[in-house]
Every structure is written in structure tokens, then in C-alpha cells.
Structure 1
Amino acid sequence: MAFYFLLYWHFLLMVMVIMIVAGIITFLFPKFPSIVVLIISGVMGFVYSICIDFKDASLFFIGINCVVSLISILLIRYLLFLKRKAEEMEKEV
């Protein structure tokens, strides 16, 4: 297992970059459709599976990328929701 992570350290790097980019896109452009970000992250997982010549696991890479980007999208959406609610409560007081 440790050998896998040493050999494919770029998988972890890809997952981190996908999470950061999805969060930044969602934060900077809140009206941008989330499904587009999920599709792009899925395509990146497919491209990654082709690049490492491991097409059998492409569904796994696509799923992991979509889940990771969905987590960051939901966290940013929740942050924006809390910000909006705080501003509404501030106006009431």
C-alpha cells in the first residue's frame, strides 16, 4: 500500500488540486453551475487514467474526483449561505 502512494503520489496531488480549483471557482463565481465543475473534474479523472495507462480504474478516478469536488462545492455553498444569513441577522438588529 505504501508503495502505491510512493509510485502514484500524483494522484493525491491531482485530488488536492481538483478540490482547490472547484472551491475557488465556486467561491469566485457563485452563479456558475456546479454540474459543469463536476463534469470537468470527472473528465480530469478520465484523462488521468489515460495518462497513467490504467483505463480499468477510470471509473474509480472519475468517482473520486467528483466526490472531492462535490465536497468542496458544498462547503463553499454552505459558507456563502452562512454569510448571507449573518448579513440578514445584522440588518434586523
Structure 2
Amino acid sequence: MAFYFLIYWHFLLMVMVIMIVAGIVTFLFPKFPSIVVLIISGLMGFVYSICIDFKDGIYFFISINVVVASIPILLIRYLLFLKRKAEEMEVE
């Protein structure tokens, strides 16, 4: 129960911003390496745990941020793959 009170509203805000930024970066710059976006989102989780002074939850925040950032990256990569396949089928 004590852990629940340590996660404030800004945790949810951080997760939403990370999802939006990861999606925008992946969509606008398709050649940009996804691992860089995942590393930056993991660093944001590290910085967040230091800012709220909860150093025991570092791995939790890093893993949540990486998983949350990978969702829009995978969806947009799949969207670009389907777009490329549709263009290939259209040429044939």
C-alpha cells in the first residue's frame, strides 16, 4: 500500500509523454534507431526515481518506461511495414 502512494500523478504523465514522443520520433524519423529511443526512455525512468527520492524502484521505473516506449515503436514499425507491402502489391 505504501508503494501505491509513492506513484504520483506525474508518473502517469511521464508514461503518456514517453509514449507520445516515442511514437512521433518513430513516425517522423523512420531510419532513427529504436534502441536510442528505448535508452532515453529508460534514462527518464532513472531520473524520475531519483527526483522522487525512491531509489529502490529504479528497475521498476526503467522497465515500465522501456515497455511503454516499445509499444508505439512496434505499432508504427508495423504500420510502415504494411504500407511498404501495400505499395509493393500495388506495383504488381
Task: Report deviation, 1:71.
Answer: 1.0
Residues 2-41 of structure 1 mapped to structure 2, 5 A cutoff: 4=4, 8-41=8-41
**Backbone CA RMSD of aligned residues:** 1.3
Task: Report deviation, 1:67.
Answer: 0.4
Task: Report deviation, 1:88.
Answer: 1.0
Among the aligned pairs, what percent are the same residue?
87
Q: TM-score, structure 1 length as denominator?
A: 0.90
Which runs of 5 or more structure 2 residues have no equivalent in the other structure?
none
Paired residue for 1:69?
Answer: 69
Listed one character per residue, the Cα deviations across residues 27-53 of structure 1 (whole Å, up to 9, x for unaligned) are: 111111111000000000000001111
Task: Report deviation, 1:57.
Answer: 0.3
Q: Which amino acid aligns with 1:89?
A: M
Q: TM-score, structure 2 length as denominator?
A: 0.91
Paired residue for 1:53?
Answer: 53
> Counterparts of 1:90 and 1:71 in 2: how far apart (Å)?
29
> Counterparts of 1:63 and 1:89 in 2: how far apart (Å)?
39
Task: Report deviation, 1:84.
Answer: 0.6
Task: Report deviation, 1:91.
Answer: 1.4
> Counterparts of 2:58 and 2:29 in 1: how far apart (Å)?
29
> Counterparts of 2:43 and 2:61 in 1: how far apart (Å)?
10
Aligned residues: 89
> Counterparts of 2:48 and 2:83 in 1: how far apart (Å)?
36
> Counterparts of 2:66 and 2:89 in 1: how far apart (Å)?
34
Task: Report deviation, 1:65.
Answer: 0.3
Which runs of 5 or more structure 1 residues have no equivalent in the other structure?
none
